[in-house]
Chains A and B, each alone.
Chain A
């Protein structure tokens, strides 16, 4: 279980403090599939980076299974079972897809297991195993490999940052079908940052993050109608 308690994150921008995350408290129990949504620049990715430890909060606490992990490094959190699929995954010259998946898994993976992970994210595995994770892959391919690196790990909490971005619609619908089952098999709890209605439909709970704070939280049955109303009322909330 992941608990965020009164989490705040302030940066010093142009001589004055800017609050990116404001007093966020959220609980993600075991078995939960939480979708975080909200406008661009609202603080969703920052929240994910705070949970992973890439950024340090200026106030508040992060607890994993009751243990305070706020002061732990990225490496330490990863070893406790926190995983994060980047919105824009970095590329590595000279590293093969198979090597990256093995690094994610923590030990060399047999070919057939690697292939399974790749097939699950819609990549023809034989073609990709020995390809390098470099500039020769498209944005969509990179995103799918990024998802596969999380599927190769048994995690306490898996965070996916806009997994759909850059993936074509056809592949996306295939991915959505398997995503929840796959992830639930490997991960105790899942947070997905997404704007896609189809991903929101998978959620047990939805959290709307706007202006660095939790603007709304509830089951998808509660949140969805309100979200749609907001969309109809103003264009300011709409995005791709």
Chain B
């Protein structure tokens, strides 16, 4: 049984408020499974040698979703989990992950999700991952996700990775390898406040002809928080890639943005854009002329920017 505050956490990170009645899911709570269900086309099995699960999606599965959220509510827990996804040829699936930490104690709570995606030929994956922290304790809420994606010929993957708020420290490590005609879109949205720190390293290797990738990173840093972004696109073939980092800086925050593009093939076309700046005064004034207070206007601008 899930407690009410646990249900709230699940709703925030995975849009479900209880164990789902149907569909494939695995809910991990404080390092243990709180419920698991496979379907005919999506099989979830626990790993035998280490913590984590294998998720196998049968070839040509359509219109199905898997929910694999994690919640950590025990202060001082250090949870590491290895999840491997095997997406069969031609399958189309939506994966909802995410982690919520509720820490009311004085010890650090930490979750490291190590995800590997093997996406078969012409398969399409939509992946949503939301990170969120809350609780009154002085213990930190730490999330260090490692994501590795292998895209087979013609495979497509859209990844939306969001850090809502309340995560004291995060180091994100994302790698992707694209075969011929594979397509990847990563949208990263992140907000830090207080004295939080965030680092995100992304490496995309475009190995196959006709492959394409887009990384869109948007962040807001408030108070004394610090962020570092290091997205890299490496073109090893006739490919296209676009890296875009856009940050709003506020208060006494610090942001470093270091997009890197590399071409090892003369037909690689790679572009990057990066911008850091405070909220534009005209934007605030405009919203005030619609009757909003400056504080509300600021909130509306940030919400839009991170939407």
- Expressed in whole angstroms, the minimum distance between the Cβ of B284 and any Cβ of chain A is 9
- Decide: B305 and A78 in contact? CB cutoff 8 A: no
Query: Which one of A89-97, A114-122, A178-186 contacts B?
Result: A89-97
Given A75-B293, A106-B291, does the pair A90, B286 have CB atoms closer than 8 Å? yes
Per the bound structure, the CA–CA distance linking A88 and B286 in Å amounts to: 11
Given A92-B301, A103-B290, does the pair A74, B285 have CB atoms closer than 8 Å? yes
Given A52-B289, A86-B286, does the pair A94, B294 have CB atoms closer than 8 Å? no
Residue of B nearest to A90 (CB): B282
CB within 8 Å: A-B pair count: 58
- Majority DSSP secondary structure for residues of B touching A: helix
- Decide: B293 and A86 in contact? CB cutoff 8 A: no
Residue of B nearest to A86 (CB): B286
Per the bound structure, the CA–CA distance linking A93 and B277 in Å amounts to: 13
Within 8 A of B (CB), among A73-116: 73-75, 78-79, 82-84, 86, 88-90, 92-95, 99, 103-104, 106
Per the bound structure, the CA–CA distance linking A86 and B305 in Å amounts to: 21
Q: Is A215 an interface residue (CB 8 A)?
A: no
Within 8 A of A (CB), among B152-211: none
Pick from B280, B288, B303: contact of A78, CB below 8 A: B288
- Decide: B289 and A92 in contact? CB cutoff 8 A: no
Q: Is B4 an interface residue (CB 8 A)?
A: no
Q: Is A37 an interface residue (CB 8 A)?
A: no
Residue of A nearest to B292 (CB): A75
Chain A interface size, under 10 / 10 to 19 / 20 to 34 / 35 or more = 20 to 34
- Expressed in whole angstroms, the minimum distance between the Cβ of A4 and any Cβ of chain B is 18
- Expressed in whole angstroms, the minimum distance between the Cβ of A142 and any Cβ of chain B is 11
List of A residues within 8 angstroms of B286 by Cβ = 86, 89-90
- Decide: B291 and A92 in contact? CB cutoff 8 A: no
Pick from B285, B291, B294, B304: contact of A95, CB below 8 A: B304
15 contacts between A and B (CB under 8 A): A52-B289, A74-B285, A74-B289, A75-B288, A75-B291, A75-B294, A78-B291, A79-B291, A84-B289, A92-B304, A93-B305, A94-B306, A103-B287, A103-B290, A149-B290
Q: Which residues of B contact A (CB under 8 A)?
A: 218, 246, 280, 282-283, 285-294, 300-301, 303-307
